[in-house]
Structure 1
């Protein structure tokens, strides 16, 4: 299995669906953060994003705690890096202050600290654990003693009621739940029906293909973003625009990222509605973001709200809303 200088495994992914009924399932809360694989061996810790890009420098405050807590043991861990709000809940908007900073200053680390929520172990002392069932891997993980302000192992519940677990997530204003078969092996890089995620709010990744300049209080920044995704034939198709969920600083920061990507023509494989693209400034389809939305009908997102950019997802991974 991977060591600190080798390529990490890709994380296993969940399918989208309702909470499964019946016995044989364990439940975890769904955390609103960035998926990170941690590899620790020989006193060296490296962190990798979902697409294998090293993120050690982005979250340096996690390195020493992981090495210290593992106390000389080698391990490969799977989890989510989160930034907690004032009520102790993961906040993706807070994490935005850290996700795109390769070398955060000490001041930024103080004002926006992060925590690593570890929910799986893929290797111990050089031996792969991926062929072991979920419950056995959780036993191994619980035995590692990963308990510090910077590193935690969140709880899991076995043979619970999916509807009740979803209510619990709603009561605590969390993102949703993930159900995992208790005997499921870990399948790196596979989106498996053995893991089922149920978000409380509809959420999707999008590809930014253009923007409309802001007016009024949004002048000097982005007014709205034009969004796209890949259909079943890998065509880049328009799925709507988003103009809410931005702060003034976010609108200006997005403009700085978009202007260097500007192109004279639309990158879409079919023309979008003229009323939504009349004043559009087109860009290369390279930036991936997250939006929440009420529903996806008629080829367009209804009531979308911007959550933020993601640098751990490739544009080629972005399918139509509701697929994953």
Structure 2
């Protein structure tokens, strides 16, 4: 049975403008949690981007994945998503599942998840990573994986980047990804052979502190102070976020942050005083996902909180627009 040390690390896309011209295939960008699935001796296991075994967090996926492979062995790459009432992936809904190590049957029923598979890295004991993208997609489609808990989303070769973004916009999806048709799968590499373009800018930030809420938010966080590592690997301030939280999220975050509170800032240089009045500092241990309009003068403009990410280490978080 595979261990986390033998499971491939996902290949990553670079951030950029979707290309036009021949040689590219396009997929939608799914707003979920990246996951590698291993199927070996009739047992399926799921691993997060950083190699954590998350099978128990999503217990409704293991059996359908095993059954869909029909006794074949494989390593798959995909995204775990939670759909909203309109059938669209919702990272906010997925947050209710991502950090629960042993979910109840009630939670699984309230927030069911689906595994969207978009690549195959090994089949029947043989690696497929050296095959070109189109051949791997053919191998994947030949597996005929389908069901309420497992899907293989389509890809397109007869469109350009602008058309894909228009389609993503019409369907209220996160964005799109372009992949070279001849690209091999390079585990753990962020490759220019894959290019992602979200419709709204998105980044990760390290929580370095918080300011208490007021009014109806007085029992939770009012805003979070965020940092990222610059090119010299210094932890620098990138801004604060005060929107996108539910009341329950504000309270839960305050409890988590209180447990890692420290007396001084972890930042290499002090942030602006106007952002840190009443600030309480924490160790740089938690990573969050944030949407924003633009990143100028070292600060995020109009950021909105999406949720915590336990599949990315703080040391991996670089400046906005770099990943």
TM-score of the superposed pair, with normalisation by structure 2: 0.99
Please say if 1:179 is aligned against 2:183: no
Q: What is the rounded CA distance, in whole Å, between the counterparts of 1:298 and 1:69 in structure 2?
A: 50
Give the structure 1 partner of residue 7 of structure 2. 8
Please say if 1:144 is aligned against 2:123: no
Q: What is the rounded CA distance, in whole Å, between the counterparts of 2:278 and 2:96 in structure 1?
A: 30
Give the structure 1 partner of residue 250 of structure 2. 251
Give the structure 2 partner of residue 101 of structure 1. 100
Matches within 5 A, 1:24-35: 24-35=23-34
Matches within 5 A, 1:118-267: 118-267=117-266
The RMSD of aligned alpha carbons is 0.7
Paired residues of 1:4 and 1:44 also in contact (CA < 8 A)? no
Give the structure 1 partner of residue 66 of structure 2. 67
Name the SS for the 2:285 alignment partner. strand
Give the structure 2 partner of residue 282 of structure 1. 281
Q: What is the rounded CA distance, in whole Å, between the counterparts of 1:267 and 1:162 in structure 2?
A: 41
Give the structure 2 partner of residue 21 of structure 1. 20
Matches within 5 A, 1:296-311: 296-311=295-310
Q: What is the rounded CA distance, in whole Å, between the counterparts of 1:161 and 1:178 in structure 2?
A: 11
Residue correspondences, number:
322
**Hey, which bits of structure 1, 4+ residues long, moved more than 4 A?**
none
Q: What is the rounded CA distance, in whole Å, between the counterparts of 1:266 and 1:207 in structure 2?
A: 13
Mind listing any 5+ residue stretches in structure 1 that lack a counterpart?
none
Q: What is the rounded CA distance, in whole Å, between the counterparts of 2:2 and 2:78 in structure 1?
A: 17
Name the SS for the 1:157 alignment partner. coil
Please say if 1:273 is aligned against 2:282: no
Name the SS for the 1:146 alignment partner. coil
